[in-house]
Structure 1
Amino acid sequence: MSGPPDTGVPTSTPSPEPGAPVLRAATHADLPVMSRAHVDLLPVGLFPSLGARFVRRWHRTYLDSPHGLGYVVVDPAAPGEIVGFLVGTTDHAAHTTALAADRRAMAALAVTGLTALCVRPRVAARLVRSRLRPWTRRLSTQRQGASGRGPAAPARTGQVAVMSALAVHPDWRGSGIGVRLAMRFVEHARDAGAQRAELQTSTGPLGAAGFYERLGWEAGPQQPSPDGEDALRTYHLALRG
């Protein structure tokens, strides 16, 4: 989920001026601040509602994956203060497949998620109502397809990079930080061989449809949020050809 960053449309990654915020690769030491920023700045969807501890564990899967990426923007006047961040994948199918096969990572996510649900009964009820039933139907369909009794899964159409989350602190919006993060993601994904990039953003006040359209992303289908919040719109960007 990508939130409201800032404005401006460059043709390549802007070069920061002296004293400007520094964009660098995220590290494990950044995860506590990144996760808190995600919960505060992008409180949309299930994962942020599970709290910063779960989001921190989720962000870690991107940093630990050969198909994941993470960036932060730090204010040089206040080292350690993250004013923007981004997490995503350069090959989303490969990332999710590898994550599903990593029993330790999946167990850590499950334990952290269940712990969060135990102290958030309303979130647990919403999960059962909006997510558990669709997940069960999807799993049943996948099993039928694997056994030959159901429709086959669609063929993969090239490597797809996915921007999972991008956010900029309100005090820094309009400074070009969001543009720098988005362009760095595009460069990284293209260098890693991705054919196209995708993201989803809310159509409500926390969304950033206009921002991505100004950067050349093409609007795709709109779909209702499974949590009953504002609808989500998918955006695509061709990285090759």
Structure 2
Amino acid sequence: MGLQDLPAVVAAHRQHFPNGFFARLGPRFLCRYYRTFLDGPLAVALIVEVSGVPSGYLVGVLDPVQHRRLLLTYHGVALAVCGLIGLMRRPTVLTRFLVTRARRYLTVLMRSRDRALESVGGPRIAVLSNIVVAEHARGYGLGTVLVDAFLSQARDAGRDRACLVTVAGPNGAGSFYAKSGWRHTRDATGSDGQRLSFFERDLPEVV
């Protein structure tokens, strides 16, 4: 993924996740958010094309703790400004943020300032953050291509496990991940009251 792909990626995100918190902050914030995956050494940003036309994308991180530290260092101010502008323009979203997310975001920020390294001896985890395949390009295995490429990079980076979150039930992609070898670990209710399904997948070394 490159800078030239961001308009299409932002449009796809808003189309497929219209009720998500990041989408509600507006396209400026989304563009800045996806830029954090382009220059991060611990991030993965992939585009899949059909006949030269971008038809899907995937973003993820290979080391969540270190990636968050780098994100705050190099993109924190820009993200905060774009997020604040988005909130001020959308009073309803601002109210929801203060009620459901403000305390958690502040806690994450403080922990990121104090913790620069993963827990010693803990599992080395990669996180698949977002994946979208355009409706006109579904049924051709593009989602599998993107996921397999991400898992390959995670394995090459020495990760022990990959994890992801998707919407629970028929509106989510849980059945796709279950058929692809991912293990469903639990369901939980997210900050917005939506039921979410958590999946994991071990990444054994290829010999």
What is the TM-score of this pair, normalised by structure 1? 0.77
The answer on whether the counterparts of 1:42 and 1:167 sit within 8 Å (CA) in structure 2 is no
Task: Supply the distance in 2 between the matched residues of 1:65 and 1:116 (Cα, whole angstroms).
Answer: 24
Quote the offset at 1:117 in angstroms. 1.2
Tell me which residue corresponds to 1:116.
86
Query: Is 2:6 the partner of 1:52?
Result: no
Quote the offset at 1:240 in angstroms. 2.1
Query: Is 2:188 the partner of 1:213?
Result: no
Quote the offset at 1:212 in angstroms. 0.3
Select which of 99, 114, 118 maps to 2:71.
99
SS of residue in 2 equivalent to 1:127: helix
Quote the offset at 1:215 in angstroms. 0.6
Q: For 1:100-147, what per-residue CA distance to the aligned partner results, in whole angstroms no more than 9, with x for missing partners?
A: 232xx11110111111112111111111111113445x369959xx7x
Q: Aligned in 2, Cα 1:210/1:63: closer, same or farther, shift over 3 Å?
A: same
Identity %: 35
Quote the offset at 1:203 in angstroms. 0.6
Quote the offset at 1:176 in angstroms. 0.7
Q: Aligned in 2, Cα 1:206/1:72: closer, same or farther, shift over 3 Å?
A: farther
Select which of 7, 10, 13 maps to 1:38.
13
Task: Supply the distance in 1 between the matched residues of 2:125 and 2:16 (Cα, whole angstroms).
Answer: 26
Tell me which residue corresponds to 1:186.
151
Quote the offset at 1:42 in angstroms. 2.3
Match for 1:211: what amino acid?
Answer: F
Match for 1:87: what amino acid?
Answer: V
Q: Quote the RMSD (CA, aligned, Å).
A: 2.2
Tell me which residue corresponds to 1:74.
49
Select which of 118, 121, 132 maps to 2:102.
132
Task: Supply the distance in 2 between the matched residues of 1:140 and 1:193 (Cα, whole angstroms).
Answer: 26
Task: Supply the distance in 2 between the matched residues of 1:184 and 1:66 (Cα, whole angstroms).
Answer: 16
Q: Which runs of 4+ in 1 moved over 6 A?
A: none
Task: Supply the distance in 2 between the matched residues of 1:198 and 1:55 (Cα, whole angstroms).
Answer: 22
Rg (Cα) greater in structure: 1
Gaps of 5+ in 2: none
Tell me which residue corresponds to 1:172.
137
Query: Is 2:191 the partner of 1:226?
Result: yes
Which structure ranks higher in relative contact order (CA pairs < 8 Å, sequence separation ≥ 6)? 1
Quote the offset at 1:162 in angstroms. 0.5
Gaps of 5+ in 1: 1-25, 147-152
Q: How many residues align?
A: 201
Tell me which residue corresponds to 1:150.
none
Query: Is 2:58 the partner of 1:86?
Result: yes
